[in-house]
A and B are shown apart, each in its own frame.
Chain A
Amino acid sequence: MTDLLQTLLNGVAVGSGYALMGIAMVIIYKTSEVVNFAQGEMALVSVFFTYMILHTYGVPFFYAFPLAALFAVFVGCVLEFTILRRAKEQNVLGMIIVTIGLEMVLIGLVSWKFGAEQKVMPFPISTYDTLMIGNLFATTLEALTFAIVWVIMLGLFLFFRFSRLGLAMKATQQNKVAARLMGIRTNRVLMFTWGISSLVGCVAGILIAPKSMEPFMMWDPMLKGFSGAVVGGMTSIPGAVFGAYLVGIVENLFGQYAYMEFKSAVAFAIIVIVLCVKPSGIFARHYVKKV
């Protein structure tokens, strides 16, 4: 029994990392209907930037993390402005190719600048610190990640609900022409959406980096976050979070009780099954246009 609970807890713990990537992808998908396969690598760039200022320049954590956040927003905005906006007339397939291309360029840049070997990310919490909850245990880092997911989820909820910019983003998502007719500068809104999404991705990356840091570190979390988001309907932030938990739990159960080797493949089996049973995802709550 404890065994099973521990496996579930581990599932939620890894799922939290995926959840952040899922949230980041949902934010972009909702506003621009682009499935951003470069999400992981955008985060990667921010993570290596953080590594650089922490490790090479010795900036204290207290300044380094806000700096990293600013940098991440900047990266998101710049990529939208310089690349995605130019390619905007494309169809869905075209946009996917553009983001995959972008992903490869970014991964190449990071490998070229920093090399492909494992790095050690300086981080305030050691990966060996653990917490006991009853007779289950989790690392402190996992607990922190879990908490941050909920803080971000709540923050985004409040932002979209009550802030002027958040409301403008929702309006732009729903009807771009009408949003422009309200005087909303939709291009800027889109750019900022990429900035916020990049920021969430960067948080995910920084929390994943203490465990493993090399140029391919974000590939797996990104794909699994994406699976989680698809399970959650691709347009719902809480949906993406619970989808990511599900992916984490199922892959851990599978690894524990069936085949360790195929643990990762499970995420994709989940996508396929969900898409067959409920194509709009489990949490999709979408207004259906009257015909």
Chain B
Amino acid sequence: MSVLLEVKNIETYYDLIYAVRGVSLSVEEGGITTVLGNNGAGKSTILKTIMGLIDDQPDKGTIEFDGKRIDGKETEDIVRMGIAYVPEGREVFNELTVQENLLMGAHTRKDRSALKHDFEKIYSYFPILADRVNQWAGTLSGGEQQMLAIGRALMSRPRLLILDEPSLGLSPLLVKEIFEIIKIIRNQGVTILLVEQNARKALGISDFGLILENGRFVMAGPCCQLLEDQDVKEFYLGFKAQESAKGYQRWKRKKRWR
């Protein structure tokens, strides 16, 4: 398998705040790669850096998509190369209808005649959107907006789909549904880079996982391996570690993480 997205040693600042401290990752074509990490670890910042949304960043390092450098490019151009990004917090167009939102997703597409088929595909993934085609997106519920945001991203027929916490604020049932759909999307040949808090679900569908702490990756590996890891189990999956005699081991591990 080839590498679709290659991030090498990027560092990102928000003015003086050093948010991403030398991070590398590669996303294999056709797979799902997951980034886990605590609040404020810098996950969203990495994604925003990839999409060129933070002015003049990355400060150091390179980002390659499909063998071409994309760091320093305009967001619009990065999107046009075939990357779609669903930001944290949906960012739908509040005063456009559901249908128009999806149409905006296809803004860069030349094959206008094929759009109808794609609309139908999205509505089959998310039937609830089909009932709301002419409703303003701002009046949808949070979960419906999330579906719309994912649908909108798919309308560009991306090669790489980047999702920032798609399960945020959704009911457990809906979370399950969203993850099912992410799997379907992958099976249709779209490569996925996923950022999640829901570690168990995310690792469950992914091929490769990375764990971010304070702007650095502290662990990376195939998902089956991470799921078995003691530390991951304890801090991300909520298993209780066995108490050692002096409580020493626990302290040592904590230090490694925080």
The residues of A with any CB-CB pair to B shorter than 8 Å are 164, 167-168, 170-171, 174-175, 177-186, 286-287, 289-290
Contact B75 A170, beta carbon cutoff 8 Å: no
- Contact partner of A175 (CB less than 8 A), chosen from B85, B93, B105, B108, is B93
Pick 17 A–B contacts, CB within 8 A, sort by A: A170-B95, A170-B96, A171-B93, A175-B92, A177-B87, A180-B75, A180-B76, A181-B79, A181-B85, A181-B87, A183-B79, A183-B107, A184-B104, A184-B107, A287-B94, A287-B95, A289-B138
Bound form: Cα–Cα A184–B75 in Å: 9
For residue B136, which residues in chain A have a CB less than 8 angstroms away from its CB?
287
Chain A interface, DSSP helix/strand/loop, else mixed: helix
Contact B76 A183, beta carbon cutoff 8 Å: yes
Contact B138 A287, beta carbon cutoff 8 Å: yes
Contact A174 B93, beta carbon cutoff 8 Å: yes
For residue B79, which residues in chain A have a CB less than 8 angstroms away from its CB?
180-183
Q: How far is the CB of B5 from chain A (nearest CB, A)?
A: 16
Bound form: Cα–Cα A174–B100 in Å: 13
Which 8 A/B pairs are nearest by Cβ-Cβ distance?
A183-B108, A183-B79, A178-B91, A287-B138, A180-B75, A174-B93, A182-B107, A182-B104
Select from chain A the residue with minimum beta-carbon distance to B139: A287
Interface string of B80-105 (1 = CB under 8 A from A): 10001101000111111000100111
Bound form: Cα–Cα A182–B154 in Å: 11
Bound form: Cα–Cα A185–B95 in Å: 20
Q: How far is the CB of B83 from chain A (nearest CB, A)?
A: 10
Contact A167 B76, beta carbon cutoff 8 Å: no
A185 touching B91 in the complex, CB below 8 Å, given contacts A167-B100, A167-B103, A287-B136: no
Contact A175 B91, beta carbon cutoff 8 Å: yes
Interface residue? B27 (CB, 8 A): no
For residue B181, which residues in chain A have a CB less than 8 angstroms away from its CB?
none
Interface residue? B51 (CB, 8 A): yes
Contact A178 B92, beta carbon cutoff 8 Å: yes
Apart from A167-B100, A289-B138, 9 more pairs, CB < 8 Å: A164-B107, A171-B104, A177-B53, A180-B53, A180-B76, A181-B51, A182-B156, A184-B104, A286-B95
Interface string of B49-82 (1 = CB under 8 A from A): 0010100000000000000000000111001100
Bound form: Cα–Cα A179–B74 in Å: 13
Select from chain A the residue with minimum beta-carbon distance to B81: A183
Q: How far is the CB of A171 from chain B (nearest CB, A)?
A: 5
Q: How far is the CB of B74 from chain A (nearest CB, A)?
A: 8
Bound form: Cα–Cα A86–B152 in Å: 32
For residue A179, which residues in chain B have a CB less than 8 angstroms away from its CB?
93, 104
For residue A180, which residues in chain B have a CB less than 8 angstroms away from its CB?
53, 74-76, 79
For residue A182, which residues in chain B have a CB less than 8 angstroms away from its CB?
79, 104-105, 107-108, 152, 156
A183 touching B80 in the complex, CB below 8 Å, given contacts A167-B104, A171-B104: yes
